[in-house]
Amino acid sequence: MKPLLWIAFFLTITLAVITTYAQQNKGTEHVSLYGGSWGAVPFPHHVHQRAVKACETCHDVFPQESGSIEALKVSGALEKKQVMDQQCRQCHREMKNKGLATGPTRCRTCHIKEEG
């Protein structure tokens, strides 16, 4: 039975390694979020992972998948501007009120309006 134990051992290690790498998928560094008529919202993802630390702060509401916010808005699981109001602006406002370095709170500093 010893060879079987070795196989089980190596399978366990392999799984652990795969799981670790899967957990290390931090997504792209810069994401461009759909911002409707106000124009796209550039989102520095890795800056936030360093500043916020806990992935769940944002990903409790939408999964770690590209385009997940828009998909949830289309399905009705998220309201339009819900992430914007309840995550982005709320966190930035609270930190700003505490005098901490944080991100933008005004429309035009988040949304990039295309010319023309």
Candidates 1, 3, 5, 37; binder of ligand HEC (CB under 6 A) is 37
Q: Is 52 helix (H, G, I), strand (E, B) or coil?
A: helix
Residue 11 CB, shortest distance to ligand HEC, in Å, is: 25
Residue 19 CB, shortest distance to ligand HEC, in Å, is: 13
Complex with ligand HEC: residue 20 or 25, whichever CB lies closer: 25
Q: Quick one: residue 65, left, alpha or beta (phi over 0 = left, psi -120 to 50 = alpha)?
A: beta
The residues that bridge with 30 in the sheet, in sequence order, are 44
Residue 29 DSSP code: S
φ, ψ of residue 115 to 5 degrees: the values are -70, 150
Contact set with ligand HEC (CB under 6 A): 25-28, 31, 33-38, 41, 43-45, 47-49, 51-52, 55, 57-59, 64-70, 73, 80-84, 87-89, 91-92, 95, 101-107, 110-111
